Amino acid sequence: QSALTQPASVSGSPGQSITISCTGTSSDVGAYNYVSWYQQHPGKAPKLMIYDVTNRPSGVSNRFSGSKSGNTASLTISGLQAEDEADYYCSSYTTSSTSVFGGGTKLTVL
């Protein structure tokens, strides 16, 4: 299984919205509604932000939302804040009952 494809970097100004894409195949992203997104600040463990494509864990801001179309999932962050600057990773369940991560996207808040 190959890593999911994410843009290496995205940027936006405070208050703006950004979207990070995550492209897989029909054996992972396209196969199930089991895409999750993780936020990672430098030196910290990843934090779950979105699961099952669109669901937010308790405590995660509703500025974070997820969607999927075919083999591509997306994470949208609205009303960008300085604290959103971090690395973001998508992950998907696969038809082999394993998981796979994306290559990560560095979000810069200008």
Partner 1 sequence: QITLKESGPTLVKPTQTLTLTCTFSGFSFNTRGVGVAWIRQPPGKALEWLAVIYWDDDKRYSPSLKSRLTITKDTSKNQVVLTMTNMNPVDTATYYCAHRTVTTPRQDYWGQGTLVTVSS
79 binds partner 1 (CB under 8 A): no
31 binds partner 1 (CB under 8 A): no
Q: Which position among 46, 61, 67, 76 is part of the footprint of partner 1 (CB under 8 A)?
A: 46
Region binding partner 1 by CB under 8 A among candidate stretches 10-18, 47-55, 60-68, 72-80: 47-55
Nearest in space to 84 (alpha carbons), one of 104, 55, 107: 107
Rounded Cα–Cα distance for residues 1 and 17 (Å): 31
Which residues, including other chains, have CB under 8 Å from residue 103's CB and lie 6 or more apart? 3, 4, 5, 6, 8
Which residues bind to partner 1, rule: CB under 8 A? Answer: 1, 3, 34, 36, 38, 40, 45-48, 51-52, 57, 89, 91, 93, 96-104
